[in-house]
Structures are given as structure tokens and as C-alpha cells.
Chain A
Amino acid sequence: MAENVLITAKRVVAIGGSAGSLDVIIRLLPGLDKQLGYAVIIVIHRRSQQDSLLGNILGTKTDWVVKEAEEKEPVIPGYVYLVPSDYHLLVEKDHTLSLDDSEKVNYSRPSIDVTFESAAETYRENLTAVLLSGANADGAAGMQRTKELGGICIVQNPLSAEVSYMPEQAIRQVAVDHIVDAEQLGKFINDLLKNG
């Protein structure tokens, strides 16, 4: 089957955000260097109706392939996976994606914690977790797990965030590696992955 011959991504950048994060993502994504051979997973809290809208907005702005994450699909370099609304997204050991409709976590489904934690389990030091603007504490536990398993944690500078609560919580609870202004994020991630 075709899916078996694809080479799955060895590295992943997982981006989580809530209120005030969409703009940051729209500005950050076009700058990410597709040649570096990683995949991006985006978890953003939003209303269900906005699913396809988000994909369309992001897709037109970048040469990455932007798509909604599908059940049991492999994680491919050069792809941006958007977590669908109303499902949690988990990353399996064999580098495929699973969806799960279990209880909300931090009042959220999708929850950033759920995706970060399972991506950390699978990708360990090859995971870069990026947490953006938001009004809830989702993501902090996922950052914690990312750290424990050797991944890298980047948090948007709360001063540059439309809603500072989410990045602040992560910074308070976790010894994050980098705190970066919104405008610098794209370049910062490129430099990090180029050297890593």
C-alpha cells in the first residue's frame, strides 16, 4: 500500500494556541523552511464550523501542504496537520496520527496537552513544542512532558501575546527553553532546526 512506502517525519514541530494565536500562526507559517524535513502539527482551540476555513487560510500562504489530520495517517515531512475540532489528536509510536473523542481536557477538545504529551512520547528529543497566546492553562502539562522526554519548549513571549495567560502559565510551571517574541518565532524555529 502506498502509505507504507512513504518516509515518515523524523522530527516534529507541534504548535498549540488559543485566543489570539491564529494571527501568530498565519504570520509564522510562511517563514518555516520546508527543506528542513520536519512535519508541523497545529492544535488550536476554535469553533467547529471554522475547520475548513482555517485550512484554506493557511494553505494559501505557504508552500507546505496544509491539511486536516486524518485518522491513522502517517506524519510526512513538509506537511502541516491541523487538528480537527471536537477530537483530540494523538501521535502513535509508528508515526501515524490517531483521533480520540474522549472527555475534554482543560475544557478543551482538542486539547494541546493531549497532543503535546503523546507527540513527546513518540518524538522525544525530536519534538519542538511551541505554545502561543491563549486564555487557558492548556499546554503547560504538555510542555512539562516534552521537557521530561528531552524535547525543546518554546513559548511566545507573553508581552507579545494578545492574551498572555497561556504562555505565562507554561513559563510558571515549566522550565521552558526559549521565550520568543511573536515576530521572531518563524526565524527562531528555522535556526533551531537547522542546527539541531
Chain B
Amino acid sequence: MEKNLHIQDDELQLLLNDVMQKYGYDFLGYSEASMKRRIDRLVSIDRFPSFAEFRHHLLSNEAYLQRFVEEITVNVTEMFRDPSFYRVLRKQVLPVLATHPFVRIWHAGCSTGEEVYSMAILLEEANLLHKSLLYATDINPGVLQKLQSGIFPIAQMRQYSENYIESGGTGDFSKYYTAKYNLAKFNESLNSKMIVSTHNLVSDRSFNEFQLIFCRNVLIYFDKPLQDKVLGLFDESLETLGFLALGAKEHLTFSPIGKNYQPVNGREKIWRKMY
């Protein structure tokens, strides 16, 4: 069986410390087991013979840093991911947002933006998009470029269309994009309301106040102390009675901010800030 390299605990600490010192990217609070896999994977794809060489290359080639950040973060996403979650947004959250003169939403860790386009479609269908702004941020500049282009593989549209219908969508999903070759380009009207910027949840601060914050499938990559810190950042950035939406397996149960939040619905991971 082919032998893969497996990074050791001390090598991992050394590498992440170096990246922090040299480039200011702090990955020290990420869950270790997953981080190790990402690094083993990158070392194997880019065919480094050893960790020493990998580390040396990373620290002496600033150009490689972007690839490092892109590859060790997980960017998997889809439109209307967990359709029942979007159904609850439609039914229980949008009616509340509708009462505001302006709607500000933050998608933290939005990856290539499928989540942001899904939300824009929801807002459009509730006739709220014209008075909304969707702030789309991620640590990773590469994924944000894709988001801005609004272009996704056409092969995925079938699945997305099914998700859309399952999420309570009643329109024709294909009216939101134009198909060209094997690509689907989403309508400009959807991304005209998006404000796109890099933002590192570990080191950057709160930059506005929102009525709804999405941070889905990002906290699972953080250890407990970092999760609590980032949840604190969201708490600071959320209006009272605003909503916080997490991924299907994430929760507020043991976090310090949890006591001030109430679940909107038994099953879906959406909380309302009560105090």
C-alpha cells in the first residue's frame, strides 16, 4: 500500500507558529485532527518529499501562501444546503426582517457564495432584496472571486433546483441564471446587493451591526476556545432580536453567549438574540 506522510503534533505546532509569525495568519485554534488531514493532503497533492521541505517552501515563497490558505480551509458548499433550514428562514425569519426599513445580513465564511445566492433568492421572492445588503466574507480571497463572478457549474443546477423546491421555492429556479456551455451565470440583480470582502474571523473585528448572521460549517473547524471567541464576535455584531444561523451540526449549547439566545425552531440551527 502506498505510504503517505503524516504530520506529527510537534511539526504541526511548528508550522502553524511559523505561518503566524511570518504571515500573520493564525490557524493555531483550528481543530487539530482535521487540520492535520488538510496538511497531509496538500503535502501529498503538491508532492513534497517531507514536511521540512514543505515548511521551507511555504515560508520562503509568499506566493504559495494563498494556495496554502485555500487548500487547508474546506470550501465545500452548495445552494439551499439543508433545505429545511431555508424553509424555516422563509417562514419564521423573513417576516421579521420585513419589518425593518433596511436589512443587513452577514455571511461569515461564505466560501464560493452558494449560500449567499440562496439567501438573495429568498429575499427576492419575499420582495425584500431591494432594501437588503448581504455582506459576504471569507478568509480566502480565491473563493470570493468565484462568488463575485456568480458563475457555477451547470451540472449542479439539478440538485440545487431540487433543494430550492424542497426549501419552499415555488418559482422556476432556472429563471435565476443563464446557462452557457457547462456554466450557469446567476443574474446580476442578485449579486448587486452583495458586499464582498476578505475577513478573518480569528483576527478581524466586528465591522457592522446585523439583523441576521450566517456562519455555517465554519465553527466545526475551530477548537472550543476559538468557537467561543468567534461566537462572541457575532454577539457583538448582532442587533438585539437579531438571528444567528449556524450549520446543521453546530450549536450554542455550551457557549457563554448561549444563555442570551433562544432557538427559533426545534430542529434548525437558528437562534434569536434575546438580550
Secondary structure of the A side of the interface? mixed
| Contact in complex: A92, B33 (CB < 8 Å) | yes
Interface 9-mer from B100-108, B174-182, B185-193, B216-224 = B216-224
B37 touches A102 (CB 8 A): yes
The A-B contact count (CB < 8 A) is: 66
Say yes or no: B220 contacts A141, CB within 8 Å. no
Q: Is the CB of B1 within 8 A of A99?
A: no
A103 to B9, CA, bound (A): 23
A181 at the interface (CB under 8 A from B): no
Q: Which of A3, A90, A93, A102 contacts B254 (CB 8 A)?
A: A3
Q: Is A98 an interface residue (CB 8 A)?
A: yes
Taking the complex as formed, is A131 at the interface, i.e. its CB lies under 8 A from any CB of chain B?
no
Number of chain A residues close to chain B: CB under 8 A: 29
Contact B220 A121 (CB under 8 A): no
Chain B residue nearest in CB terms to A114: B37
Interchain CB contact (< 8 A) of A84 among B76, B223, B249:
B249
On chain B, which size bracket covers the interface?
Answer: 20 to 34
Given the interface pairs A3-B254, A71-B250, A92-B33, the reply to whether A100 lies near B74 with Cβ below 8 Å is yes
Q: Does B31 contact A (CB under 8 A)?
A: yes
1/0 per position for A125-137, CB-CB distance to B under 8 A?
0000000000000
Given contacts A92-B31, A101-B76, contact A141 B1 (CB under 8 A): yes
Residue contact B249 to A90, C-beta cutoff 8 Å: no
- Residues in B lying within 8 Å of A, measured CB to CB: 1, 6, 9, 31-34, 36-38, 74, 76, 217, 219-221, 223-224, 227, 247-251, 254
Q: Which residues of A contact B (CB under 8 A)?
A: 1, 3, 70-72, 84, 86-87, 90-93, 98-103, 114, 117-118, 121-122, 140-141, 144-145, 173-174
Known: A93-B9, A101-B76, A121-B6. 18 other contacts (CB 8 A): A1-B254, A3-B254, A71-B219, A71-B250, A72-B223, A87-B220, A92-B31, A92-B33, A99-B220, A99-B249, A100-B74, A101-B74, A101-B217, A102-B76, A103-B74, A118-B33, A118-B37, A144-B1
